Amino acid sequence: MSVRAAELPSRDALQQLVRAKAGTAKVHHLVPVHPALAPLLPDGGLRPGAAYSVTGGALLLTLLAEPSAAGSWCGVVGVPELGAEAARSAGVALDRIALVPQPGERWLSVVAALAEVLPVVAVRPAGRVRDADAARLAARLRERSCVLLVCGDWPRVEARLAVDEARWEGLGEGHGYLSGRDVVVSVATRSTATPRHVRLVLPDATGRLSAKAPGTGPVELRAVG
Amino acid sequence: MPPAAAPTRCLVLWFPDWPVTAWRLAEDAPPADAVAVVEANEVVACSTAAYGEGVHPGQRRREAQARCPELRVVPADRLRDERQFAPLVDRVEQVAPGVQVVRPGLAALRVRGPARYYGGERQAATALLDGLDDLGGGGRAGVADGIFTAEQAARDADPILVVPGGGSADFLAPLPVSRLGDAELAGLLPRLGIKRLGDFASMDARQVRDRFGDRGVRLHDLAGGRDSRPVTARTPPPELARQIEFEPALTLADQVAFSVRATAEDFVAGLAAANLVCTELRVHLLAEEGEHCERVWLHPACFDAAAVVDRVRWQLQAAAGTVIGSGLVRVRLEPVAVDAISHHAAGLFGAGADEKVHHVLSRVQAMLGHEGVVTPTIGGGRWLAERQVLVPWGDRAVLPRPAGRPWPGSLPDPLPATVFADRRRVEVTDANGARVGVDDRLLLTGTPAVLAIGAARLRLAGWAGPWPVAEHGWDPARATAGCRFQVADDTGGAWLLVLDADGWWAEGRYD
């Protein structure tokens, strides 16, 4: 029996079909991010079921702020020194965040448990995570539509968000007060070869992320006349 | 108006100044102190020692304190009064059934049955007071026709006074009208020349009605010993608390948790039978050598058996080795707050999202312990670590310092995203490697140039300070003093540092 080539769907069409089947439900439920960060991420937000690597406490708080403001619960595992006041300033709703500061050896099972119901879980792994464990957790994340934010190493991440070229403003030699930090946030994804960058102020004078042009440094006083 | 029923023969147990006694029983305080229970700035009840100094109920608080400077002022608490009175009522019910609690500190019962059983009214009263001897309180008993007359008899008793049947009017006649407990009449009648209950009782009932209305008629009947109120015996409430005794004593937390499971299930089932669920639970642990440990646990929803067992285990783990040093002989579970079971029924289409969150967080809590899952709350204070209060999941937030105060010296935004619960030891030196300090006039001894954290040495690009913070200078135990600095290093990081008598510390990191 022969099969005619014309009846077989092309590879592209198959891929489209698969993508449509796999992606339909998910794409609508992206976890929102700050508008200034959205263009850097491949989907314009955090994709449920994926893991993202994050460096820096302020960036983590910024990522937690948007879903938290939208009414979602967030979990933070293994970060005992998370600054709660900075989190509040960044826009995180403190009555909808659950902290597990000292999970110890069982951090992985704690993350797996929280991933069942919380849409966003941040974790600082207590040790090296094995590929098999990561794969099992990834399956759980996909099944439960949970976003995992990792402060540290993780085998397969969707994107790596990092703070590059940070510079604090407002501090002089013995005077001033920290007023904001000019940063370049870089996002390296699996699909894009080169990282994308954006220049931001994180945190600004109110503790939030802002995209406006950075202000000038401290005014230097000089003796004149 | 129906004709008034003949007064029933009553026995009233009266505990003078019950709010004071209740406070004393609750706090385990010595009986000799001068104590006054105060509500709305007015003394409600006071102890014998306070009476001796000239304090009396109805006095303003400031006046009472002026009379007796060492007076201990305690806020009134109706719940405490009720709670402490309940064991006494239970005991009375064991001696004679059918007790009416008129108010905390005052209980009435029909005397006919006990009198027949104990062979006389006086004997019945003696038996009741004897039964209450070990619970404290110093009760008095009065027996008379009607609750009002019996209460007046109890007030004059030492400790028992029996007014013979039909002798109410004669007994009440010489008492002052203030005994009616009505502020308006107590003020008005003496000004009309009516100072005794007998004078008031001898007035014409119609005139009293014309002048004082129905309430006046009622008080007029009371003054004449015609108290028509019957004794309405309470139905003893179902026993909701449960306890389990261990013989021999158990030493392992797991053993206790295993043994207590059946009791916990019984406890929850007992509440469910009364259409209730427990939202606040008191667990009382008693050990072999008499040490005990008590704690109230809250639950965001309601306790099921597994949650009760978890609380017992956590409490035991926290108390073992510190409060409790020997084997456990008794666990007692008492509901502190209950709610109607209908408020906690699962929805027809499954539980809501928050319910699921709660289930999972409780599971993690069961895995890691009560302090394992926390939610942050911002309280007051000047130091970052003391401002963030971590509340275990399910507990009520108790802020040690109120958040709404100005707290001069606390930091404005932006705040460090990393706050070290235990400050980290660091070192700040000037360009020559000499340690930087401040003198008594808050002048720096050098220019900060290098920050050393562990093995890392960071060059400083900017710094600001010192900002002195001094707290509780009057209390050596709580006194803290230090100077804060903000420094920015040349790698783009910034730190919040504290310099105190012990040296340099990192309070937080801006990252």
Residues of B in contact with A180 (CB under 8 A): 414
Is some CB atom of chain A closer than 8 A to the CB atom of B300?
A: no
**Which residue of B413, B417, B465 is in closest CB contact with A61?**
B417
Q: How far is CA B83 from CA A5, B18, B61, B236, in A?
A: 87, 12, 25, 14
Residues of B in contact with A109 (CB under 8 A): 367
With vertex at residue B141, the alpha carbon angle to CA B136 and CA B147, rounded to the nearest 5 degrees, is 125
Q: In what order do the strands lie in the sheet with B35-39?
A: B42-46, B35-39, B72-75
Query: How far B372 CA sits from the closest chain A CA (Å)?
Result: 6
Q: Burial of B266 by CB count in 10 Å (0-12 exposed, 13-18 middle, 19+ buried)?
A: middle
The tens digit of pLDDT for each residue in A40-93 reads 888 888 999 999 999 989 999 999 999 998 888 999 999 999 999 999 999 999
Q: Report helix, strand and coil shares of chain B as percent, to nearest 5.
A: 35, 30, 35
What is the structure's pLDDT at A7?
61
Residues of B in contact with A176 (CB under 8 A): 462, 464
The tens digit of pLDDT for each residue in A60-73 reads 999 999 999 888 89
What is the structure's pLDDT at A225?
59
| C-alpha dihedral, B300 to B301 to B305 to B310, nearest 10° | -10
The tens digit of pLDDT for each residue in B68-84 reads 999 999 999 988 899 88
Residues of A in contact with B464 (CB under 8 A): 171-172, 174-178
Nearest partner of B148 among B176, B127, B179, judged by Cα: B179
Residue whose tokens read 């050393």:
B452
What is the structure's pLDDT at A26?
46
Tokens of A173: 């030699």
Those residues with Cβ within 8 angstroms of residue B259's Cβ, 6 or more apart along the chain or in another chain? B244, B246, B250
**Which residue of B368, B418, B510 is in closest CB contact with A81?**
B418
What is the structure's pLDDT at A190?
84
What is the structure's pLDDT at A23?
53
Q: Is the pLDDT of residue B237 over 70?
A: yes
Q: How many Cβ atoms are within 10 Å of B94's Cβ, its own excluded? A: 9
Find the mean pLDDT for residues B297-307: 86
**Which residue of B357, B368, B447 is in closest CB contact with A100?**
B368
Find the mean pLDDT for residues B142-163: 90
Residues of B in contact with A175 (CB under 8 A): 464
Query: How far A2 CA sits from the closest chain B CA (Å)?
Result: 53
Which of A3-12, B60-69, B454-463 shows the lowest per-residue confidence on average (mean pLDDT)? A3-12
**Could you tell me which residue, B394 or B433, shows the higher pLDDT?**
B433
**Could you tell me which residue, B189 or B343, shows the higher pLDDT?**
B189
Q: Is the pLDDT of residue B63 over 90?
A: yes
Contact criterion met (CB < 8 Å) for B464 and A172 = yes
Distance, in Å, from the CA atom of A205 to the CA atom of B162, rounded to the nearest integer, reads 80
Considering chain A, what percentage of its residues have pLDDT values greater than 70?
85
What is the structure's pLDDT at A25?
47
Please, what are the domains in chain A? 29-159 (3.40.50.300)
Contact criterion met (CB < 8 Å) for A84 and B367 = no
Q: How far is CA A144 from CA A24, A112, A116, A147, B451, in A?
A: 15, 10, 6, 9, 45
Please, what are the domains in chain B? 1-237 (3.30.70.270), 242-363 (3.30.1490.100), 373-405 (no CATH), 411-510 (no CATH)
Residues of A in contact with B487 (CB under 8 A): 171
Is some CB atom of chain A closer than 8 A to the CB atom of B419?
A: yes
What is the structure's pLDDT at A85?
93
The average confidence (pLDDT) of chain B is: 88
Q: How far is CA B366 from CA A112, B52, B167, B307, B363, in A?
A: 15, 55, 67, 8, 5
With vertex at residue B344, the alpha carbon angle to CA B343 and CA B345, rounded to the nearest 5 degrees, is 100
Contact criterion met (CB < 8 Å) for B384 and A89 = no
DSSP, residue by residue, B402-467: -TTS--TTPPPSS--SEEEEEEEE-EEE-TTSPBP-B-TTS-BSS---EEEETTEEEEEEEEEEEE
- Residues within 8 A of A (CB atoms), B 170-209 only: none
Contact criterion met (CB < 8 Å) for A86 and B414 = yes
Nearest partner of A64 among A97, A39, A100, A103, judged by Cα: A97
Is some CB atom of chain A closer than 8 A to the CB atom of B422?
A: no
| Bridge partners (DSSP) listed for residue B106 | B14, B103
What is the structure's pLDDT at B478?
87
Q: How many residues does chain A have?
A: 225
**Letter for the amino acid at B96?**
A
The tens digit of pLDDT for each residue in B138-150 reads 789 999 998 999 9
ipTM: 0.82
Q: Is the pLDDT of residue A16 over 80?
A: no
What is the structure's pLDDT at B331?
92
Distance, in Å, from the CA atom of A149 to the CA atom of B442, rounded to the nearest integer, reads 44
CB B102 within 8 A of CB B108: yes
Distance, in Å, from the CA atom of B150 to the CA atom of A19, rounded to the nearest integer, reads 88
Find the mean pLDDT for residues B116-139: 86
Contact criterion met (CB < 8 Å) for A83 and B368 = no
Q: Which long-range contacts (CB under 8 A, 24 or more apart) does B310-313 make?
A: B310/B365, B310/B366, B310/B370, B311/B281, B311/B283, B311/B370, B312/B256, B312/B257, B312/B260, B312/B264, B312/B283, B312/B285, B313/B253, B313/B254, B313/B256, B313/B257
The tens digit of pLDDT for each residue in B239-286 reads 888 989 998 888 888 889 899 999 999 999 999 998 888 888 999 999
**Letter for the amino acid at B467?**
W
Q: How many residues does chain B have?
A: 511
